Structures are given as structure tokens and as C-alpha cells.
Amino acid sequence: MTKRRTALLGFAAVFAIIAGACGDSSEPSGQGGATSTTLGVAGGTVGTTRPVIDADTTAILRYGSMQANSLDPVLQKTPCEITQMRLLYDTLFYYDSSGKLQPMLATEYKLDDPLNLTVKLRTGVKFQDGTAFNAEAVKFVIDRALTDATSNIKGTLYMLDSVTAVDETTVRFKMKSAAGGPLLAQLADRPGLMYSPTALKAAASPTDFFAKNPVGSGMYKITGEYRPIESMSVRSWDGYWDTTTPRLGGIDMTEVKVDALVNAIKSPQFDLVPIDAASQVAGLKDATDVVVKIDPSIQLRTFLINATEKPFDDVKVRQAMAYGIDRKAVTDVMTEGLVGPRIQWYPKGFVGYDAALDAIYPYDVAKAKQLLTEAGFPNGFTFNAVIGDTSTSYIQQNELIQAQLKKIGVTMNITFVPTAQTVPTFYPTDATKKSGVVAGAWGANLTFDPDAFFRPRYLAEGNTNVGRDELAGLRDVLTQAAAAADDATRTKLYAQASKLTLDSLLEGFPLFSVPAIQAYKNYVGGITVAETRCPATLRGKYITKGKVAVKS
């Protein structure tokens, strides 16, 4: 693995590597998977990996990103903070790096009927305060996500009616609508993060608990002071149930500015950093002890369109945008040619992919112009695109698009909003109001279960739906797909959902998938798939004894 640079591999090649790497995945990754979520029987333990002999269990990994703004699973402030949370709290299930649902704190599950899911818990697991992890704890945690006043993840559990602790190790989830797949996906995500109810109740307040001394059942325990979006340290916890996954003595995480990351990993101060801009990889060429790993990620860059605003209320105008933007050129520049362009949300191998969509909207200036003429804009038009003011790479992306759209007679002006205000700008507080945003450079994180990706974006009640408009026909398809018990049906239905979104282009379209680039010292092991900072899996990473280079 030393000095391995997968920089020049295309998408397909990288996926092949991931598929091959399935067996020795040492970390429950949430990244870059390629196969479908199964609703079959799951069992076994997480730690079925080859034991790593040379890991130094006292070494501290210094990681150059710390974007957690909240350590409370029910209070989501940034999508990135799950990176830190997963160190402290385990989830009931997890997705491995091939996108397969695997057991973690839960050992197996069974769909009793379309509306009832029974989950068996791992026995003998303790929280870091010594109290037992059991069905009551699961019920408490899930109930809090559903009912707590501060919870802003209630929407993700839209299908859940109630939770019952059947006995010490059995939990039953009763659903309002048949959506076993999406529910399991959530139990592997934020709502499934388990923390100690006893410790939470004992703390002065939940805010205090999560800000000062959160207690989970994770591999690592928080130490020192946690400073939101600044720094956080965790240390190995002796009582952890999984003794086979390689571990570190601890992890010191520090937030480093994007421009400083290359210098950070070249300096002796850091062991592992995410690299955000592909152009920065060139700066690591001369660093002999640094390994650069590049893989596709689940982060997409998109061209956001609000179909309720003129002139984009006409589907022909939206399609003209899709034909008139040269995604290949944008992708080449933005990723230094590391990945190919993307027109559909999900890549090959994922549920949600539809082979028929690969040929949709090729770059075609004549076609774009013709569609504009048909829509009544033979001389083009002018519109405003919104971007966050400090998002340099979004600005570059839109400069490219600006020049391309000029060729079809469309003038794109750019309006800046404070980066921290982009979300409320795109998705106003008041759900009865639609956003004034007409278009913008935006991103999206794919989810292994497409339900959680499509629902908030395309259904009227969705909170990341820029026009608050519903994509006709999608609700039925999503409902059927959520209830579907077999993979074939799910695959077919979600492909259908993808087609609906791309035919209508209601929320715009994807441009490319951001390459995940990680740079690390050659003594860091356990990295099978490169991840972006958001989210990243630090569990399972290790440092070799004596800091010798990891052998591939």
C-alpha cells in the first residue's frame, strides 16, 4: 500500500478494486459501495477481518479535519459530524465499504410482516460508563430522536410508529408505512447511534452531556475539551466489545483550512488529512513519506434548478441546461481529470442506477438552442445563480458553466450569499415559502438507500426541496420501493425513480462525483477506500509499531 497512487484510475477501475477489497474491509465504511442493500438475514461479527499484527495500540493518529458542531445525534448541524460521532457511538448496523448492510450493535433482524421489524442485539456490550447496552437503551435513544424537542432528524424516521423493548436483547420497531429497507438504513445512520441513557439522564442537561462528556459504547472515548469545528480528541476505550478490529491509542482531530492541508500533511504535525481540491495533489508529488489515495465518493456536485421559478418552470428550458452544459469539460477541470462526468445520481452497481439513463442529455449545443427556441427563448435569457461566498471551488465550477451557457445564448449571473447561509437561502425556514433561488452550484450526498436521497428532495414536504414542488408519480414509486422485500423489485423501482427525476429535472442534475482524496503518512494502515472528510471512517485505522511503512 506504500506509495500507491490510484490517482489515474477511472471510475470503473476503482470500483473493481473496491469489489475485490470486500473481504478484508477492516472498517465499517459508509463510502463508495457498489452492491445493493440486502434485506436478507445478516449475522456474524464486525471483526471478521484478518488480525493486524503490527498495529501500535498506543499510537495517536493526528487527523486534519474536525467539523463536528454537535455531538448529539438528534441535533444535526452539519452532515460531517457523523465522522466524529461514529468514534464515540456505535450504530445498530453499518454499511461496509461495498455498500452491504452489516451487523454492529445488532446481530440480526427480521421483518415479521411489512410493518414490523424485529432486531436482535449483541449481548454483553457495555457503555463507557459501565451500564449495559440493551433493548431499553435502544428504545430510549430512538424515542428521543422521534420526540425530543431539539431533535431535527425526526423526518428521517418518517416511517416509524413506535419502538418496544421485547426483552433484554430484542427490540421491535412498529412502522406506520411499510418501509423496512429505509428504516434499516436509518438504524445504520444517525438515528442508530447509541449513547448511554443512564449517563444522559445523570447529566445536568442533554446539552451539557453532549458538549462535555458524551458516553457511548464506541471504540473511543472523548478526552479533554471538545471544541466545535476546531478540535477534539478521543482515546481508546478498554471495555470495547470488538477486539479484532485494529485500533489506535487515540485520535487527535484538528480542523485545518482547505488551503493548508497539503502543508499540514507534509509537516510532521499530521498523519492523515482529507484533500479537498484535486489540483492540490500535485503539491504532494515530492513528499516521499506521504501516500495519496483517490477513490470515487458519495458526494456529488450538482447544478441546482428551481423548477417553480421562471424561466425554469418550462421543462424544455431545464433540458436545454442539461444539454448545454459540457459536464465532461467541467468535470475534467474540477477534478483534474480524476473522474468522469455523471448524469445520473447513482453510479453503476448502486441501487438507483439505470443503465438506460447513461446516454441521456449528451453535450449538444444545437439541441439546447433548439429547445430554448421551442420554449420561446430564441435569443436566450438571463438568470441568477446563487453560490456561497467562500466556496472557491463552487465559484470555479460556475465560472466554467457561465462560459458554456454563453454559447447557447444564456447569461448566468452569480449572486453570492454567506456560505453559512446557503442552506437557509436554498431551503427557507418557512416550508410554505419556496426559495427565491432560481439556480445554483450545489452538492448532494448519496445515501446507500435511495429512499433517503429522493424523499427530501422531490416530495413536497421534503426539507431539501428547493421549489417545495412535488415530482408527480414519485411518491408512489418510493412507497412501493420502500415496501419491496426483494432486491430485484427495489432495483427496478429505484431505477424508475431515477428516471423520473432526470426526465423532469425538477431539482437540477448532477455534474460529477467529487473524488475522495486522502493523504497520509506511509505508516498509517487500515485505509482501503479513500474518503472525503464528510463523512470519513476513522474506526479501524491504525499506525504501525515503530512507524514503519505499511506493507501492501
**360 to 399, contacts with another protein by CB under 8 A?**
389-390, 392-393, 395-396, 398-399
- State yes or no: residue 114 binds another protein (CB under 8 A): no
- Asked whether 537 and 86 are in contact (CB, 8 A), the reply is yes
Q: Which stretch binds another protein (CB under 8 A): 53-61, 107-115, 258-266, 503-511?
A: 258-266
Nearer to another protein, 118 or 463 (CB): 463
Interface pick for another protein out of 49, 69, 370, 445 (rule CB under 8 A): 69
Q: Does 146 bind another protein (CB under 8 A)?
A: no
Per CB under 8 A, 411 contacts another protein: no
Which of the residues 421 through 480 are near another protein (CB under 8 A)? 421, 423-425, 427-432, 456, 463-464
* Cβ at position 420, least distance to another protein in Å: 4
CB 299 within 8 A of CB 514: yes
Which residue number, 313 or 399, has a Cβ lying nearer to another protein? 399
Q: Is 357 in the site for another protein (CB under 8 A)?
A: no
Q: Which is nearer to another protein, 46 or 153 (CB)?
A: 153
Choose between 390 and 489: whose C-beta lies nearer to another protein: 390
Q: What is the amino acid identity at position 55?
A: A
Give the list of residues 6+ apart from residue 32 with CB closer than 8 angstroms, or none: 14, 15, 18, 97, 99, 295, 296, 297, 298, 516, 529, 531
Nearer to another protein, 79 or 249 (CB): 79
Alpha carbon distance 435, 424 (integer Å): 9
The answer to whether residues 289 and 548 touch, using CB atoms and an 8 Å cutoff, is no
Q: How far is the CB of 455 from another protein (least distance, A)?
A: 12
Stretch that binds another protein, among 39-47, 145-153, 374-382, 510-518 (CB under 8 A): 145-153
With respect to another protein, which residue has the nearer C-beta, 52 or 229? 229
401 has which bridge partners? none
Query: Considering only residues 329, 343, 360, 549, which one is a binding residue for another protein as defined by CB under 8 A?
Result: 329
Helix, strand, coil shares of the chain as percentages rounded to 5?
30, 20, 45
CB of 417 to another protein, least distance (A): 7
Site for another protein contains 339 (CB under 8 A):
no
Residue among 6, 152, 223, 445 that touches another protein (CB under 8 A): 152
Give residues 78-107 in contact with another protein (rule: CB under 8 A).
78-79
Provide the minimum distance between the beta carbon of 191 and another protein in the complex, in angstroms, as a whole number.
Answer: 12
Minimum distance of another protein from residue 429's CB (angstroms):
4
CA distance 349 to 345: 12
The answer for 192, left when phi > 0, alpha when psi is -120 to 50, beta otherwise, is alpha
Bridge-based pairing state of the strands 231-236 and 250-254: antiparallel
Nearest distance, CB of residue 269 and another protein, angstroms: 6
Helix (H) or strand (E) holding 164: strand 160-167
Query: Taking CB under 8 A as the criterion, which residues in 196-235 touch another protein?
Result: 207, 211, 227-231
For the chain, how many residues are written? Answer: 552
Q: Does 547 bind another protein (CB under 8 A)?
A: no
Nearest CB to another protein, comparing residues 315 and 423:
423
**Binding-site string for another protein from residue 267 to residue 306, where x marks contact by CB under 8 A and - marks none:** xxx-------x-xxxxxx----------------------
Q: Number of C-alpha atoms within 13 angstroms, CB side, residue 328? A: 5
C-alpha cell at 538: 476513522
What is the three-state SS of 344-385? CCCCCCCCCCCHHHHHCCCCCHHHHHHHHHHCCCCCCCEEEE
**Are the C-beta atoms of residues 234 and 223 closer than 8 Å to each other?**
yes
For 47, half-sphere exposure in the C-beta direction (CA atoms, 13 angstrom radius) is: 14
CA distance 192 to 185: 9
Q: Which is nearer to another protein, 78 or 116 (CB)?
A: 78
CB of 47 to another protein, least distance (A): 33
Q: Between 239 and 424, name the residue whose CB sits nearer to another protein.
A: 424
